[in-house]
Amino acid sequence: MAEVEYKGLKIGGSKLLLIIPLVGTIIGFLYGGFEAYNRYLAMEKKINNFVSPNLSHIDKHITMVGNQLNIIEEQFSNLKEADLLVNEMIREKVNSIKSSVANVSASVHDAKIELREDITGIEVSIDDQENRLKETLNSFEESIEKQERRIKLDISSVEKAMDTQNTQVKEDLNQAESDMAKQEARNRQNIEDVRGVISSFEIRMDSKVDRLDLKIVTLEENLDMKIKQALTNPLLDN
């Protein structure tokens, strides 16, 4: 390890590491002391060269300020008296307000008592109304239940009657359909019979018309013959 020798004094590396910062600190301290000494000398020079200024105008200003302070003190005294008067008036007002508040509190207390009594009466009335309403509702519910039972019985009887009526209607419809089918068959037969009667009537009428036409033709021929005979009769000349 490196060593430094000064005037027969040897200093090893580890000690050197401790001494170097210490030396730096000492040097910094000496430099700071030197700077402080220089500043002290400069300040002493300025003090020696200092000339006392003329303070007469400051004395006048102080006198004027003293007068103003006296005026302010007098005004402050007046303000203090006014403040005492205002405090007294405020105290009287506060006492008056306290008295009014006390009266109002008493009135409010009485009003609260009356209000409690009114509320109690109203609550009792409400309870009575609720009880009567409950009784009315109970009776109404009982009436509704009775009506529902009667309606259910009526519905049941109506359903039974409707079932019976539906059965009867179905039977009547079946009977009517059967009767209608029979009547339709009879109507068809009647129509066929009428058609046969009409056909035979038409045949007979045609035969009669033919015979009538033959008779007319024969009658016309006979008439023509008689006319010719009459025209050729020699007796007609006379």
pLDDT one-digit tens code per residue, 46-62: 777 755 555 566 667 67
pLDDT at 237 (0 to 100)? 56
CA distance 137 to 162: 36
CA distance 80 to 88: 12
CA distance 177 to 173: 6
pLDDT one-digit tens code per residue, 172-214: 888 888 888 888 888 888 888 888 888 888 888 888 888 888 8
Using an 8 Å Cβ cutoff, are 3 and 12 in contact?
A: yes
pLDDT category of residue 98 using cuts at 50, 70 and 90: confident
pTM of the model: 0.25
